[in-house]
Structures are given as C-alpha cells and as structure tokens.
Amino acid sequence: MMIRKIKNEDAEIFFDMAEQFYASDAVLHPIPKKHHIDAFNEMMRSSDYIEGYIFEYEEKPVGYAITSKMYSQEAGGFTLWIDEIFILEEFRSKGLGKEFFNYLKTNLDSSIARLRLEVEEENERAKKFYQNMGFSKLEYSQMFLDRRNINK
C-alpha cells in the first residue's frame, strides 16, 4: 500500500476514478468532466489550494483523494478539507483509507488546525470509519450558493 502525491502522468487515472466517484451513491449528483479537468489542472499548477493523492495497492492505482485549504478563524488556523476520497470497490476494507489519514497526520503542515470532511448522512460505513479515525460530527448545517445563481 502506498499513498503518493498525484502527478501529471496520472491524469487519465484520475479522470476515470473521478467519473466513477461522481456516478456513485457517495455524492448527490454527477458533475461535468470539465470540473475534473479544471481540478486536475489546478493540482498540477500549485498546491496552494488543492492537492491530489493516488492510492496504490500492489503498485496499481486503486483510489484517489483531493484536499483543499481554507483559513478558519473558528479553528484558529487553516482547515484542510478532505474534499474527495474514492477507492475502487474491490480494494475497500484493505486499509487504504486508514493509510491515507495516517499519511495526512504525519505530513501535516503546522499551520493546519483542523481536518474537515463531508459525508452523506446515509453512508453509515463511512461515518463509522471517520469516527474511528477521530472525527466528530460538526453540528452545522451547510448551505451554498453557486455562481450561476448569484445574480438571481
């Protein structure tokens, strides 16, 4: 098992797995492929805001994760969002998720005050895993406004 930073040559692997992730029950709806391309390009441009990781099992890419950073006054520093985690079905429950969180904890920049993620309410398996990794439920309800609706 290995977790490594995503590289330029991982583009097609990333696009394929991101499409699978966004076709799964783990998300509310699919997104346009352009969003995957834009995210990948930003990962290749800089790690200031977004970073990508590839999960390997027996030297084969079997998953990925994306993290992004934001400053949180409430947390007292930067929050590292675990924006996406996807592992191919046949490689789940093999320790890759735990390996990823151990990788993050070991390599955290000292400016990171909090790790944060979202999980579908119905995804009991994921919620139990995150709780076992030390996450607690945040009692906020999140809301959003997409750019296309800003001027409405």
Whole-number pLDDT of residue 1: 81
Whole-number pLDDT of residue 143: 87
pLDDT for 26 beyond 90: no
Question: Residue 55 to residues 85, 109, 111, 120, 123: CA-CA distances in angstroms?
Answer: 10, 21, 25, 22, 21
3-state DSSP percent of the chain in helix, strand and coil, to 5: 35, 30, 35
The predicted model gives 114-124 an average pLDDT of 91
Domain CATH code at residue 110: 3.40.630.30
Q: Identify the domain containing residue 74 by its residue range.
A: 2-149
Q: How many CA atoms lie within 13 A of 49 on its CB side?
A: 6
Q: Which two tokens stand for residue 37?
A: 């391309």
β pairing state of 50-57 and 112-117: unpaired
pLDDT tier for residue 133 given thresholds of 50, 70 and 90: very high
The reported pTM is: 0.92
Q: How many CA atoms lie within 13 A of 56 on its CB side?
A: 9
pLDDT digits (tens, 9 = 90+) for 31-87: 999 999 999 999 999 999 999 999 999 999 999 999 999 999 999 999 999 999 999
